[in-house]
Structure 1
């Protein structure tokens, strides 16, 4: 064992230490330079064959160099280990401020399912969804919609009034009033949906609470032809291209002229059955051109500006699609009884 041999091993060690960039490479280097079969260990074993004085002098040099290289190796191993850990943490990092990805549990109520399908159809026509409060100011529920104080809809027997003077909204047209009160720029195309309340006797086909969906469009140059085109598109997207429709005159205080839309019964195809009371047709929507008094109330009574509005009961539509004779079943918790219909079956 000579000083030159120790220097050569040290040179090889320093080159290998610079080139080692992973913990795995350093582990292999540990065996090469510090393992039982390394040249360092062979030099330590060779010390036994030397004279005591020479053995002591060379052992001091060999131990000092061995300890120095071990310290350098340990420092490099710690550095590379920290770098690998940080790289792994960055790769596996999860931003805990993002919303979770928990799987959906349960299922939508059938009314919600139908509501989402209807809104998806209206989005194809450019309608955006807006919502409003269920406990509403009477102005938005009545006055702004051409329903004066003497109108029967304001009677205590027809509407739920709260002690605060608010009213449980009796239709989703309140959202139309609120949107127009904000005076947005034309064109205005809005859809709304949600619960509405009527003080009605509860029976197989009526509830004091049910769901409605409504859309309205205010723009320059609209006519009844635009309204009929929109309704025909909506019906055929929901019920299929073969659905037959017909229009009939109706009365609503917030539209003029007003129309009702019937579709051929989806159960009997128009031949007559219990679902359509043997007439072959089912009333689906109420619609019309927005009354001039409503447009005037919000400052849209300008030359050429017209509006159209339409709405339907989601509860009754859902019951029709599912073939239910009692709509109260839709609000019971036993939803396994419902058999959902694919879009192609509607």
Structure 2
């Protein structure tokens, strides 16, 4: 059986150079110009790796796709590697968390979630390429951090045509791989009131901000293990001397199973009235671990054991595009990216000691998956 060795630190210099290029090209989900520059860079990086960048127009989905099939020599359903280029960090975050290497850590916005995973996948594919028996498709999107509203249809279509899906999102804190994910619900909350002069006639007005604030406290207070409700964006009012007529917020809810999802929807519905609405803006479906997912994990676990890498099967509360593919029943394995910490924070960093071994896992898994018959 083929065993591809994990790269040592000296072999990772090109990978770190690529990682720096990606990190220093800031790509917040809400900045179209920055995303366009990031996707252009991604096309260049994929082409430089010798991959065939798909010429189809994917601009509407904000995505780029490439294929490895040794010039058409490899046929059949591809292994789909699914990643995202966008981050939660605004342009300018590099001033707070610049690219740098300190000891065994590399820092930078989006370095772990998930530009490090993209680099890891490309390095794994490079090493696996000569030994592959089926094609590999790479799909990189640019709206994952906002729920994948543009790319979901494309993701699901490509997953249905694939043999299996590998997602190099960050590893769990213990190095574990992800075989299932909780459902993620995004709600748009909207409150209305009655305007009035806040200095002269405040009693004649009804504050939309006050109604929304009461709702936020009530909703977040209903969080329980396996069913969390959290407001992360809020706005309202226009003039400080006016009783605010409108206010709005965005709420993220995480449900561990169908019963918890039903609890969340009931809690949200009970809080609404003539002055407060709650619309389900998007949802990542519950991904329950299936037999195909478990078979993929077993293959990865065997590879990891051969390389001396410790992994475990985990179900995660954080969402990813793996929710979509896993919920479709396409064999999916997530969390294949590097280890690190500081996700979505000002000290986001990647554990360099994990990079080589997990590249080795990806490379060997790509080979091992070839020809697998999934349940």
TM-score of the pair, normalised by structure 2: 0.23
Larger relative helix fraction:
1
Structure number, greater radius of gyration: 1
Q: Taking structure 1 as the reference length, what is the TM-score of the superposition?
A: 0.25
